Amino acid sequence: MSRPHTIAALDIGSGSIKMLLVSKKPEGADFEILGQKQEISSGVRRGVVIDVPKVTEIIFSLKEKMEGDFGKKINNIYVNIGGGHLFCIPSRGLVSVSRADQKISEEDVERVLQAARTISLSSHNKEVIEVFPRDFIVDGEGGIKEPTGMQGVRLETDVVALCGFSPYVKNLSQTVLNAGFQSNVLIPASLASSRAVLTPKERELGVCVLDIGAGTTSLAVFEEENLLHSAVFPIGSANITNDLAICLKTDIDTAERIKIEFGGCRTSSLKNEGKYKKEKKIKIEGEEPLIFSKKLLTDIIEARVSEIFDLALKELKKISRQKLLPAGIVLTGGGAKLPGIKNLAKKEFKLPSRIGTPNLFPDFQENSSLSTLCGLILEGAGAEEYPERVSGFWKELLIKLKKLFSVFIP
């Protein structure tokens, strides 16, 4: 009998840092949860590590606790990379087929992808991390997914180029290595959460995943199984808490309690608006109870959520997909827990909307805040060992990211 494969994942967020350890038998269908740990985040701002020693200390603490429970050392880990420094731009590559018999080889495909990486960026510290092909064009005929073996004279490709700020990438990788891990694979948070919450049919038809975290919101658009667009906004659910603290004149901790206990978006029509005018009261230790109306609370929350949706809509308009996503909007992340947010998304985007939770983790199916963590585990499971669970796009993505991000590891 094959030995179980142990996989570790680390989600470094602005609000919390989470670690998950699972076991997977090659012949089995499910993941066995070996341990899950979480600490309040510090030293991370809007998804970017700004204090390497502080974040290293938190990760090291999580690692020690997990290893203590597990009874073994954890050497390798899959980590999310996020932050507003990540961005996508379209690019195109063009090469002549090299073989005399005009058969397209794997080397030709590599050359055309390399040609598509040749992009002039605005800063020396920004670089192309990887390119994801939308399709290939052979002698002017487009829509080709796998050109190897075909005959042609000219090979082109349209790609999405994932770019980022090199110092931030190095900071993140160094932080994880300093915490005692021998190696790490960095995977964009939007792609990880998408991996956990989307179905193959949604990725084929056209879908937008909106992962609302504490400090950032990540967007990823898929169509015909390919990544079409990705973006990160420097705004998240923590901004809602900050707004509540300012408007209700209370501290951050109380504002967070109010958001969790009473917060939400409108779920009824204007005819039932009366219930939103009712006053709510929350006790504060050492102070007078705080009294506020549900309408004020809802107005504050909806204003910030609508701002996030407006930013997402602008990104969809850039790629002309604001009305052309049959599978609609999938909301995930901690911010997707707000009651009524799905209905507000339907109203704002005028598209089908649903809440996305991890598909293959029964223990976490009600918790959208663990989508990125579970997606990292699925990537770690590996295309070779679990082919039935990993599509062609994700196989190539994992291999490319392993190769690409290894250059940042000293």
CATH at residue 148: 3.30.1490.110
Tally the residues of the chain. Answer: 410
Query: Which structural domain, as residue segments, surrounds residue 98?
Result: 87-165
- 292-329 exposure pattern, b = at least 16 Cβ within 10 A, e = fewer: bebbbbbebbbebbeebbebbbebbeebebbeebebbb
Are 346 and 262 contained in the same domain? Answer: yes
State the residue for tokens 């931030």: 168
Task: Please tell me the predicted confidence (pLDDT) of residue 267.
Answer: 64
Cβ neighbours of 280 (radius 10 Å):
14
Give the model's pLDDT for residue 281: 73
* Shared domain check, 205 and 141: no
Residue 12 · residue 211 · CB < 8 Å = no
Place of tokens 């109306």: 293
134 or 12, greater pLDDT = 12
pLDDT averaged over the chain?
86
Indicate whether 194 belongs to any domain. Answer: no
pLDDT interval class at 407 (50, 70, 90): very low
Alpha-carbon distance of 39 to 34, in angstroms, equals 18
Instruction: Give the count of alpha carbons within 13 A of 372, CB side only.
Output: 34
Copy the structure tokens of residue 102. 């005009």
Residues 68, 97: one domain? no
Quick one: how far is CA 399 from the chain centroid?
A: 18
The reply to whether 207 and 343 lie within a common domain is yes
Q: Give pLDDT, residue 270.
A: 41
Dist CA 46 CA 235 (whole Å): 8
Q: Which of 260, 246, 163 is nearest to 214 (CA)?
A: 260
Q: What share of the chain is helix, strand, coil (3-state, %, to 5)?
A: 40, 30, 30
80 and 177 belong to one structural domain: yes
Task: Spell out a b/e string for 98-113, using b for 16 or more CB atoms within 10 Å of the CB, else e.
Answer: eeeeeebeeebbebbb
**Nearest-angstrom CA–CA distance, 184 and 169:** 12
Beta bridge partners of 138: 141, 155
pLDDT in tens, 45-74: 999 999 999 999 999 999 999 999 888 899
Note the pLDDT of residue 211: 96
Cα within 13 Å of Cα(393), Cβ side: 20
pLDDT for position 376: 93
Per DSSP, the three-state class of 371 is helix
- Residue 30's pLDDT band (boundaries 50, 70, 90)? confident
323 with 211, same domain? Answer: yes
Whether residue 72 is contained in a domain is answered as: yes
**Whole-number Å distance between alpha carbons of 12 and 223:** 28
What pLDDT is recorded for position 11?
Answer: 95
Q: What DSSP string runs through 275-323?
A: GGGSEEEE--TTSPPEEEEHHHHHHHHHHHHHHHHHHHHHHHHHTT-SS
Task: Give per-residue pLDDT as tens, 82-127.
Answer: 998 998 888 999 999 998 899 999 999 999 999 998 887 877 788 8
Q: In this predicted model, which residue has the larger pLDDT, 409 or 11? A: 11
Note whether 18 and 72 are same-domain residues: yes
Three-state DSSP at 196 gives helix
Stretch 128-156: mean pLDDT, rounded? Answer: 90
Looking at the domain assignment, is residue 299 inside a domain? yes
Residue 268 has pLDDT above 70, yes or no: no
Which residues sit opposite 49 in a β-bridge?
44
Q: Does 311 share its domain with 340? A: yes
Determine the average pLDDT of the residues in 148-170: 91
Contact yes or no for 359/236 (Cβ under 8 A): no
Reported as a pLDDT band with limits 50, 70 and 90, residue 291 is confident
* Residue 181 Cα distances to 12, 77, 175, 374, angstroms: 15, 7, 10, 19
Share of the chain above pLDDT 90, in %: 60
Number of independent structural domains in the chain = 3
Identify whether the C-beta of residue 186 lies closer than 8 Å to the C-beta of residue 376: no
Are 233 and 325 found together in one domain? yes
Mean pLDDT for 144-157 is 92
Is residue 28, in this structure, part of any structural domain at all? yes
Strands (E), 177-216: 183-188, 207-212
Residue 384 phi/psi, 5-degree rounding, is -75, -40
Separation between Cα atoms, residue 346 and residue 331, nearest integer Å? 11
User: How many angstroms separate the Cα of 33 from the Cα of each of 126, 187, 325, 334?
Assistant: 38, 21, 34, 20
Q: Is residue 253 part of a domain?
A: yes
pLDDT at 384 over 80: no
Which pLDDT does position 408 carry in this prediction? 46
208 assigned to some structural domain: yes
In a domain, 21, yes or no: yes
Q: Are residues 286 and 298 in the same domain?
A: yes
Average pLDDT, integer, range 225-249: 93
This prediction has a pTM of 0.84
Per-residue tokens: 43: 């030293």
The C-alpha atoms of residue 218 and residue 234 are separated, in whole angstroms, by 9
CATH number at residue 401: 3.30.420.40
User: Is 193 within the bounds of a domain?
Assistant: no
pLDDT, position 410: 46
As a whole number of angstroms, the distance between CA 273 and CA 280 comes to: 15
- In this structure, the answer to whether residues 313 and 211 fall within a common structural domain is yes
Q: Is the pLDDT of residue 393 over 50?
A: no
Residues 20 and 107 in one domain: no
Tokens of 248: 């209700």
